[in-house]
Structure 1
Amino acid sequence: MRAATTRTATPPDTAREPTGSGHAACHHGEILQGVFRDERGLPVHGLVTLPVHGRASTARFTHRPGSPPDAVTVTPAGRTKARTAAVLAVRECAARHGQPPCGGELTLTGDLPLGLGMGSSTSDVIATVRAVADSWGALLPPDTIALLAVRAEGASDPLMHGARPLLFAQREGRVLETLGAALPPAVVVGCTVGGGEPVDTLSLAVSVRDEDLAAYEHLRRMLRRAVAEADTALLGRVSTASARLRQRTLRHREFPTLTGIADRTGAAGVQIAHSGNVAGLLFDPRNPGLERRLRHCAQALDREGLTPTRTFTTFATRPERGVVPWTNTSRKPSAART
């Protein structure tokens, strides 16, 4: 993902009020999240997200030359993380141009649900940073955006790097490993757990034992192989195992129900937001009877009071031969998909 425009990096004209725009996608929680060894062999919190194509946050920023650098207003009100990101991004861009920082007006639009673990705040923050940079005629690299996002949020998803599967240190804003070009092909039937109540990610008490670190490193190797071999079944095993490990912290009472439905409908596995309340069942689109499996899955979720929220794919451009594309809300085949 990158800003809507890519103008050359020239200082803004102080005689006018430059406006820029930015865009950022969201995700559907994590495929894998835990603690992993970094390049120095030190344990680091990391995650691999499940992108959702089509849903996004858009930001528009107009900066006011001569105003105080922290004089940033945001619409809708209450998006404090995005406001903080705007202030940080203005300082970054101003320093790069040798100009004094200033305030401005930030407007956010989009269709992302808040507080469910879909990266809505990170999407707002990334879109904001890109909009500020665009208003300065700049294009900040993903690594810089990641560091600004962590400063604004305390932790960040790797949405600034696009849809590639990355093992990302969310509290440090750095990539631990690029796993490959794309996740294995999967169709995901999403739902919410925990009544859809928001989860305060940073307040979660996470205890990691030595055996957990070994288990997460094993899942990392499995996911690396799943990506290299486009193995959806192995992807599902990784996501289910990761979700099961996280149950010690999240304690979703619906988790046994989800795994039971996955077993009965032939899903590859279960995926959850480790810091939120969205969940999904992953299906291999190359297996026979896909439409029947998806229909039975949706019916089973309904019977258990876990109404499906969206059905989407891990492939953004062209589905596998013979796979019917689906929309993000309908249970029936559609010409458009997320």
Structure 2
Amino acid sequence: MTTSAPLAPPVPADGPVPGTGHAPSHHGELLQGVFLDAGGRPCAGLVTLPLAGPGTRADFTPRPGTPPDAVTVLPGDRSKAARAARLAVAVCAGRTGRPARGGTLRLTGTVPLGLGMGSSTSDVLAAVRAVADAYGLRLDPGTTARLAVRAERASDPLMLDARPVLFAQREGRVLEVLGPALPPLLVVGCLLGDGAPVDTLALPAPTPTEAELRAYADLRDRLRRALAEGDAALLGRVATASARRAQRLLGHREFEPLVALARRTGAVGVQISHSGSVAGVLHDPAVPGAAARADATRRALDAHRIPYTRTFTAGPPTPAALQGIHAVRRPWTEKACSLH
């Protein structure tokens, strides 16, 4: 891992400056379960589906004479981001030799809360980056991941680059880089469980049997092969299998109807947030008629009264025939998505 690199000449100790940080969100997972690490130890791990769209901006304003643990956060309920800012202040002060100061952290963004889109990680990551920016630093991904896990106990891999990775979310480390990129995907997003928020950390900790470990290892192997071969259909089967296993905990009543309508509309599979309610129907944009199939999927969601949210693309650049389709979306509102 690289070390922190200064972004600008050191700021005098008596002249603190504000810092700004940004972080994305995601659209749930393609795979989540328990996997063996390089040492043969079982670890909870996940592979997220990137989403270019909702994100968080953080602005950190240091206050001279303020104790380092005195961080005020706005909105006031974002305690994990405040904790992350305090941890980042200690790290950045230690690396620069500048005073450790508290201050005000202001968060703004469009990531829906409690749906399994990484809202807390987005807040935490933006906060860490804002503090680092105030100290003239850019923290490396490994340091950022460790701070995120300390702040929220489990973190999504939003601090990493776009390569699909199997990430140990409770340890803040990469178990495997699965490939250079996802195959092209066209995703029709929706909400299960009426969009009700899920308390991720309240879910039972996984205690897999040997048979379950073998099943997760098989899904990992198949996903690795799907990425190596650019096989959207195989990826869709892996995502569906992983989502179905998660229903033992989540129990969304709409899940099987979602799988059935995906099959009817020519999708390659479905994906969900394994700790939330966001879900997506996956189409292969390389197959002719993808845009029409996405439209049919939206109509089928409406017919089943499953709230539709957005259509977007993932993976390499979008084929010309689908340029702009990611702009087809409905706003995240209480009326449309039962959000609170």
Could you say which TM-score interval applies, normalised by the shorter chain?
A: over 0.9
Supply the AA of the counterpart residue of 2:292: R
CA distance in 2, matches of 1:90, 1:328: 38
Aligned Cα RMSD in Å? Answer: 1.5
CA distance in 1, matches of 2:307, 2:315: 24
Supply the AA of the counterpart residue of 1:246: A
Partner of 1:140: 139
Partner of 1:305: 305
Deviates more, 1:206-215 or 1:136-145: 206-215
Deviation at 1:16, TM superposition (A): 2.4
Partner of 2:72: 73
What SS class does the counterpart of residue 160 from structure 1 fall into?
A: coil
Partner of 1:258: 258
Per-residue displacement from partner, 1:146-184 (whole Å, max 9, x unpaired)? 000000000000000032211000000000001122111
Partner of 1:53: 52
What SS class does the counterpart of residue 166 from structure 2 fall into?
A: strand
Partner of 1:278: 278
Deviation at 1:100, TM superposition (A): 3.5
CA distance in 2, matches of 1:6, 1:245: 45
Is residue 9–residue 136 contact of structure 1 (8 Å, CA) maintained in 2? no
Partner of 1:335: none
CA distance in 2, matches of 1:132, 1:28: 26
Partner of 1:128: 127
Is residue 76–residue 107 contact of structure 1 (8 Å, CA) maintained in 2? yes
> 1:1-338 counterparts in 2 under 5 A?
7-8=7-8, 10=10, 12-205=11-204, 206-315=206-315, 318-330=317-329
CA distance in 2, matches of 1:96, 1:157: 25
Partner of 2:336: none
Supply the AA of the counterpart residue of 2:231: D
Is residue 286–residue 323 contact of structure 1 (8 Å, CA) maintained in 2? no
CA distance in 2, matches of 1:212, 1:295: 36
Supply the AA of the counterpart residue of 2:115: L
Deviation at 1:6, TM superposition (A): 6.4
Structure 2 residue runs without a partner (length 5+): 331-340
Per-residue displacement from partner, 1:201-257 (whole Å, max 9, x unpaired)? 111123422111101111111111111111100110110000011111111111111
Deviation at 1:328, TM superposition (A): 4.4
CA distance in 1, matches of 2:136, 2:181: 31
CA distance in 2, matches of 1:84, 1:328: 35
What SS class does the counterpart of residue 309 from structure 1 fall into?
A: strand
Supply the AA of the counterpart residue of 2:21: G
Supply the AA of the counterpart residue of 2:258: L
Is residue 194–residue 307 contact of structure 2 (8 Å, CA) maintained in 1? no
Deviates more, 1:319-328 or 1:277-286: 319-328
Is residue 309–residue 329 contact of structure 1 (8 Å, CA) maintained in 2? no
Per-residue displacement from partner, 1:276-319 (whole Å, max 9, x unpaired)? 10000000001111122111100010011112101111136x31
What SS class does the counterpart of residue 275 from structure 2 fall into?
A: coil
Per-residue displacement from partner, 1:50-94 (whole Å, max 9, x unpaired)? 010132111111112321111111111111000000000000001
- Aligned residues between the structures: 325
What SS class does the counterpart of residue 322 from structure 1 fall into?
A: helix
Change (3 A) 1:97 1:6: closer
CA distance in 2, matches of 1:61, 1:292: 45
Change (3 A) 1:18 1:252: same
Is residue 13–residue 99 contact of structure 2 (8 Å, CA) maintained in 1? no
CA distance in 1, matches of 2:174, 2:167: 5
CA distance in 2, matches of 1:271, 1:322: 24
Deviation at 1:98, TM superposition (A): 2.6
Deviation at 1:320, TM superposition (A): 2.4
Deviation >6 Å, runs of 4+: none
Is residue 192–residue 307 contact of structure 2 (8 Å, CA) maintained in 1? no
